[in-house]
């Protein structure tokens, strides 16, 4: 039953409900001597927190993190790092109607089936709010990985049917638009799409893409804890993710072997690959090329239009969801994906030693 931990050596445990008093994470196994402070963690939380654009929930959470243990004189001590974020702006009344109703696309029904009891306020444990704890923990992983020279780049590849083609990538623009797209031009188009969805009381999904640079070859533990296997688990553990792929991903299914195979070459006196269809992973182990992954994110389940559903008494009801919801969760999930990648890579990197 204990599903709230991930990782073996670098192990993250999250806790907390959307409308409880706080949420948090315990990061155990972080190496000692890593420089870490709340400001660094906050910089990651700020990429996830609401209120960054007109498209995010109106719930105002500053998501201030407190470090309760594991850091001494500005450095990690090797003991568990306890991180806490207090919940502040809670509208309990928004959820009174949902006590006995199962919202489509949400985990209300399955939690009821599994546990027989649930904190229905804001989705409780199944709320996207839990991912703030992941981001805080991911920042700790990132602080460690930076000491190893490993860098992450994560962005919105698509929103609905608006996809930025690789040929139009302007990586510097990722931080210039509130949708975290690698193109301000496409971000503008995507904004229009989201506005359209809002107007029709609807929501849209999209695709997140991530790259990890300067990851040495040799990371990943065959045959079950392969790099892609552990990343796959980490990514699918994010609420709205319905698909994950590495390198060419699903496109590989239609390719010939001669197209997909990456030729090994000698470059700068080292072994490299001429292409990277594999996305940086061969046999479940990093190959020294950039790691490339994509996540398919479903449209936000909470929509403002009436929906047909049932309640706990097995009666059909019409549902009108109140509350404050993002019409597109993709931009705020970018840093969540990055955090899960960092946590996973930190763990497998430490396993390698």
Residue among 39 and 73 whose Cβ is closer to its own copies = 73
Residue from 39, 92, 117, 166 binding its own copies (CB under 8 A)? 117
Interaction of residue 9 with its own copies, rule CB under 8 A: yes
The number of residues that bind its own copies (CB under 8 A) is: 151
Interaction of residue 78 with its own copies, rule CB under 8 A: yes
Q: How far is the CB of 98 from its own copies (least distance, A)?
A: 13
Residue from 136, 141, 142, 303 binding its own copies (CB under 8 A)? 303
Angstrom distance (rounded) from CA 296 to CA 112: 26
Q: Which residues contact 349 (CB under 8 A, 6 or more apart)?
A: 145, 148, 150, 219
Angstrom distance (rounded) from CA 63 to CA 81: 17
Interface residues for its own copies in 39-68 (CB under 8 A)?
66, 68
From the list 237, 259, 217, the residue with the least C-alpha distance to 138 is 237
Chain-centre distance of CA 163, in angstroms? 19
Interface residues for its own copies in 207-226 (CB under 8 A)?
207, 217-218, 220-226
Interface residues for its own copies in 145-164 (CB under 8 A)?
158, 160-161
Q: Are 206 and 328 in contact (CB under 8 A)?
A: yes
Angstrom distance (rounded) from CA 184 to CA 176: 7
Q: Which residues contact 168 (CB under 8 A, 6 or more apart)?
A: 182, 183, 185, 186
Q: How far is the CB of 188 from its own copies (least distance, A)?
A: 19
Residue from 46, 62, 82, 184 binding its own copies (CB under 8 A)? 82
Residue among 44 and 120 whose Cβ is closer to its own copies = 120
Interface residues for its own copies in 267-286 (CB under 8 A)?
269-271, 274, 278-279, 282-286
Interaction of residue 320 with its own copies, rule CB under 8 A: no
Q: Are 39 and 64 in contact (CB under 8 A)?
A: no
Strand partners, 213: 151
């Amino acid at each position: 039953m204990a599903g709230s931990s991930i990782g073996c050596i670098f192990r993250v445990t999250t806790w907390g409900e959307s409308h409880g008093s706080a949420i948090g994470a315990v990061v155990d196994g972080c190496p000692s001597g890593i420089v870490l402070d709340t400001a660094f963690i906050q910089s990651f939380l700020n990429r996830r927190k609401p209120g960054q654009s007109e498209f995010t929930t109106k719930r105002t959470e500053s998501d201030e993190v407190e470090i309760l243990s594991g850091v001494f004189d500005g450095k990690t001590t090797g003991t568990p790092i306890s991180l806490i974020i207090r919940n502040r702006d809670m509208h309990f009344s928004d959820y009174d109607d949902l006590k006995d109703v199962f919202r489509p696309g949400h985990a209300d029904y399955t939690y009821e089936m599994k546990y027989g009891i649930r904190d229905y306020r804001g989705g409780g444990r199944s709320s996207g709010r839990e991912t703030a704890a992941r981001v805080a923990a991911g920042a700790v992983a990132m602080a460690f990985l930076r000491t190893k020279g490993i860098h992450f780049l994560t962005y919105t590849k698509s929103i609905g049917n608006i996809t930025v083609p690789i040929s139009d990538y302007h990586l510097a623009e990722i931080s210039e638009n509130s949708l975290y797209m690698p193109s301000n031009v496409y971000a503008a188009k995507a904004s229009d799409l989201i506005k359209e969805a809002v107007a029709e009381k609807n929501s849209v999904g999209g695709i997140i893409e991530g790259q990890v640079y300067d990851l040495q070859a040799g990371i990943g533990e065959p045959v079950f804890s392969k790099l892609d296997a552990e990343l796959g688990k980490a990514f699918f553990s994010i609420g709205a993710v319905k698909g994950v792929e590495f390198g060419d991903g699903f496109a590989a299914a239609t390719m010939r072997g001669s197209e997909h195979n990456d030729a090994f070459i000698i470059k700068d006196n080292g072994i490299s690959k001429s292409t990277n269809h594999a996305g940086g992973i061969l046999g479940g182990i990093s190959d020294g090329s950039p790691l490339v992954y994509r996540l398919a994110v479903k449209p936000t389940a909470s929509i403002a239009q009436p929906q047909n559903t049932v309640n706990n008494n097995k009666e059909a009801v019409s549902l009108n969801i109140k509350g404050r919801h993002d019409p597109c969760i993709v931009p705020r999930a970018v840093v969540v994906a990055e955090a899960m990648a960092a946590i996973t890579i930190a763990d497998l990197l430490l396993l390698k030693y």
